[in-house]
Amino acid sequence: MKLHTIRLSFVWLIAFSLACLSATAQTPAEWKKLKGDVRFFLANDLGRNGYYEQKTIAELMGRMAETIGPDCVVAAGDVHHFDGVASVSDPLWLTNYEHIYSHPELMISWRPLLGNHEYRGNTQAVLDYAKVSRRWQMPDRYYTFVLTDEEAGTSLRLILLDTTPLIDSYRRSRDKYPDAGLQDADRQMAWLDSVLTADRSTWTIVVGHHPVFAQTPKGEHERTDMQARLLPVFRRHQDKVDMYLCGHIHNFQHLRLPAGGSTDYVVNSSASLSRKVQPTDGTVFCSPEAGFSVVSADAKSLTLSMVDGKGRVIHTVKRTK
């Protein structure tokens, strides 16, 4: 075994052991500590018709919402496996979403974005579902909004991207992903640049379905395409993007790399079916657990808490001013 690999494995074992020791958020009293001035749940890779851990994690999200009171749920793609939806009346809306996330405390704003599985179906129907469901708030393929607590002086801007068209292999695969090649990737990056230029929020988070950095068995071209598109924009706004959040890989990862600037790169695990993971260059923490994340902010700190299927915080990403 190479010395580099041994060092990575040792670092990962230490991180995993510390995470196990700190995995204490199991009760409403502990969950209350995750609450900030503004807060949201991050969930992705959901759509398994309630199977695997989807229903269990959905119920956990509802119970935690009773204590934390999230302002919204950010659904970072692949709400529908495997071939997206055919229309706004597709039964998958019931079996993947409405009947699963039915807890009263989850009847709040859901802020979705498109994943690669949505691109296998009718992507316009995913946008049009906002006309059917009041909580499904998706004004466009990419968009931005701000969570604010004016009294506390806290503002958190979220910039939600449409990342499938940013990857060339999806654009070329017109039979499988018919809409991907029709989208103007350069226009989206110009829009991102303009939003970051005008942004004056306390904190800024960019969310996409695909990772910029991650350990993954998926093709390396996915990440290099994402890096080629996003990193020049991030570098033009040095220190502006606090976190980049994504899904797609079905496990938890937290990475920091010199190439990524000061941004924390987070892969959020699947809220239904998770997969194995190993540390790689830049890995701060990784875990194969299924779950979701709680993100909270106040004027002085921004915190992302990775929550496993039992409601335990297994890793925390924290930034301070």
Mean pLDDT of 61-84: 97
Pairing label, strands 38-43, 291-297: antiparallel
Question: Does residue 229 have a pLDDT over 70?
Answer: yes
3-class state of residue 32 by DSSP: helix
Confidence bin at 18 (pLDDT 50/70/90): very low
Sequence-distant (6+) residues with CB within 8 A of 228 are none
Looking at this protein, which amino acid is placed at residue 122? N
Closest by Cα among 213, 235, 232 to 224: 213
Decide the pairing of beta strands 264-267 and 283-287: unpaired
- Residue that the structure tokens 């129907």 belong to: 125
Predicted local confidence at residue 66, as pLDDT = 97
pTM, 2 dp: 0.92
Average pLDDT over residues 161-169: 98
User: Is 88 in a helix, a strand, or coil?
Assistant: coil
Average pLDDT value for residue range 228-239: 96
Residue burial 166-181, b: 16+ Cβ < 10 Å; e: rest = bbbebbebeeebebbe
Average pLDDT, the chain: 93
Q: Is residue 244 within a helix (H) or strand (E), and if so which, with residue range? A: strand 243-246
pLDDT digits (tens, 9 = 90+) for 258-279: 999 999 999 999 999 999 999 9
16 vs 221 pLDDT, higher one? 221
**Is 80 exceeded by the pLDDT of residue 190?**
yes
Sheet with 109-112, strands from edge to edge, namely 109-112, 72-75, 38-43, 291-297, 301-308, 313-320
Question: What is each CA distance from 319 to 25, 98, 262, 301, 303, in whole angstroms?
Answer: 20, 34, 10, 6, 6
Q: How far is CA 279 from CA 5, 66, 196, 213, 255, in A?
A: 9, 34, 31, 12, 9
Pairing, β 109-112 against β 203-207: unpaired
What is the reported pLDDT for 305? 98
pLDDT at 24 (0 to 100): 54
Cross-strand partners of 205: 158, 243
User: Model confidence over 195-206: pLDDT tens digits?
Assistant: 999 999 999 999
Give all strands of the β-sheet with 243-246 in edge-to-edge order.
143-149, 154-160, 203-207, 243-246, 264-267, 252-255, 283-287
Both structure tokens of 60: 């956990």
Determine the pLDDT at residue 238.
Answer: 87
The answer, yes or no, to whether the previous bond of 234 is cis (omega within 30 of 0) is: no
